[in-house]
Amino acid sequence: MLRFEAEQLGIRIGRVVICSHLDLCINAGENWGILGRNGAGKTTLLHTLAGLRRPDLGSVKLDGTPLTCLSRRKIARQIGVLLQDHQDAFPASVMETVLIGRHPYLGPLQWEGAADYAAAHEALRAVGLEGMETRDIATLSGGERRRLGIATLLAQDPHVLLLDEPTNHMDFHHQIHILDLLWQRSRTEEKSMLLVLHDPNLALRYCDHFLFLYGGGETLQGTAAEVLTQPNLERLYGHPLQALQGPRGTVWLPG
């Protein structure tokens, strides 16, 4: 069982404090929602947790070992990241793009084998992009490119998924389809997720734990029942909210 934790984590960009002395422990099978205003530092926190950025204080640990002591290759087998944007400078096909998810498992001179192709096909099928293997990624729509990013992560098959606004550019159907898929995966395979989301309703539907970034270094964490209250959310977004009772529980609308 994999332990993923942050100890006394301090992050700052210039003079802006994102968090200080943050302790975070993500157990296998837990899904965390990271909520906060624009510019509160959600992406920076995610990058730090992924080891893409050195923490200014404290450490991020995988099974007790700080990420700074692990090779990128080892980290990539355990932690998968969906970045906010895709930056494709050169043409590539859909299949080639899913296959990059297999990189951490292949030796320097090794080529992708049948098992890697099988994983890639399975991942494309799961996100509903089967039959598009030879399409150039430049011809994909924003939502399709996003689903391709998810497929790359499925092919990578890490224990922890760090997802930065995973539903960007997706329509309602695909938002639910993709998050259902990831949620199922974390249930059945005991894998954990951290999702940066802008929609508290979507977060409430899929996350069991929450981390609020208030900006200025202040944070709040806990289970959904503990922290997802109207006063907390109103303070978080600096905006009045209205709670409605829907068939699946409370729904928040901006007031």
Partner 1 sequence: MRPLALFTTLFLLSILSVIFSMASGSMPIGWHELLSAVHGDGQDLASRVVIDLRWPRTAAAFITGALLALAGGLMQVLLRNPLADPYVLGISGGAAVAALLMLLLGMGGFWLQGAAFTGALLSMLLVFGLSHGHGSWNISRLLLTGVVVAAGWGAAIGFLLALSPDQDLRGMLFWLMGDLSYATTPVGGFAILLAGLLMAVASGRSLNLLAHGELTAATLGVTIQPLRRLIYVLASLLTAAAVTSAGTIGFVGLIVPHLLRLQGVRDHRVLLPAAALLGGSLLVLADTLARTVIAPRQLPVGILTALIGVPVFLYLLYHGRERYGRNG
Residue linked to tokens 């995988």 = 62
Closer residue to partner 1, CB minimum distance, 36 or 80: 80
Smallest gap from Cβ 132 to partner 1, in A, equals 13
CB–CB of 35/221 below 8 Å?
Answer: no
Window 13-52: residues binding partner 1 (CB under 8 A): 47, 50, 52
Closer residue to partner 1, CB minimum distance, 95 or 176: 95
Residue 89 engages partner 1 in binding (rule: CB under 8 A) = yes
74-78-81 Cα angle (round to 5)? 105
Smallest gap from Cβ 78 to partner 1, in A, equals 11
Tokens encoding 200: 């508290």
Tokens encoding 13: 């960009």
Residue 115 engages partner 1 in binding (rule: CB under 8 A) = no
Q: Which stretch binds partner 1 (CB under 8 A): 23-31, 85-93, 188-196, 246-254?
A: 85-93
At 133, give phi and psi (nearest 5°).
-55, -40
Residue 130 engages partner 1 in binding (rule: CB under 8 A) = no
Smallest gap from Cβ 238 to partner 1, in A, equals 30
SS3 111: coil
The Cα–Cα gap between 217 and 219 comes to 6
The Cα–Cα gap between 100 and 74 comes to 15
C-alpha torsion sign, points 243, 214, 165, 158 = negative
Residue 76 engages partner 1 in binding (rule: CB under 8 A) = yes
Window 132-191: residues binding partner 1 (CB under 8 A): 136, 138-139, 156
Tell me which residues touch partner 1 (CB under 8 A). Answer: 47, 50, 52, 71-77, 79-81, 83, 86-93, 96-97, 100-101, 103-104, 106, 108-109, 111, 136, 138-139, 156
